[in-house]
Amino acid sequence: MLKLTPTEFTIAAHITSGKIAKEIASKLFRSYHTVITHIVNLKVKNGLKNSADIAREFVLEFGHPKHYIRLFLLIQFNMIANLDSTFIRTTKQNKTEKLKSRYVRNRSFKRRISISC
């Protein structure tokens, strides 16, 4: 039985589908070195020697990886879409609040200068 974190699971699914570390890194928007670290951790944690072992264990336990990759991409896209809409909303609010506070500070600063002169 494979012990996997969610990221290791995704990387194992991509390895099983025949992708190399550089392709996985570009698909997951991660650094190449991060993907290699996940692969090494996956091998050490589960006592596997190479990518073929990872693929064999993944298929024996979970079946064909294409279903998991599709599911992961849908979840990831949905999370990004939700994140973008809330992020855009909050950044617009933050920008307006910053501009308002800056305007108020500048006005009060100008008043203090004119009064003191």
Read off the pLDDT band of 65 (50, 70, 90). Answer: confident
pTM of the model: 0.60
Q: What is the percent of the chain with per-residue pLDDT over 70, rounded to a whole number?
A: 58
- Segments making up each domain of the chain, as ranges: 6-116
Architecture (CATH level 2) of domain 6-116: Orthogonal Bundle (1.10)
Q: Write out pLDDT tens, residues 29-53.
A: 999 999 999 999 999 999 999 999 9
Ramachandran category for residue 3: left, alpha or beta (phi over 0 → left; psi -120 to 50 → alpha):
beta
Q: Write out pLDDT tens, residues 18-35.
A: 999 999 999 889 999 999
Rounded to the nearest angstrom, the gap between the alpha carbon of residue 52 and the centroid of all alpha carbons in its chain is: 26
* Mean pLDDT for the chain overall: 76
pLDDT at 73 over 60: yes
What is 14-33 written as a DSSP string? HHHTT--HHHHHHHHT--HH
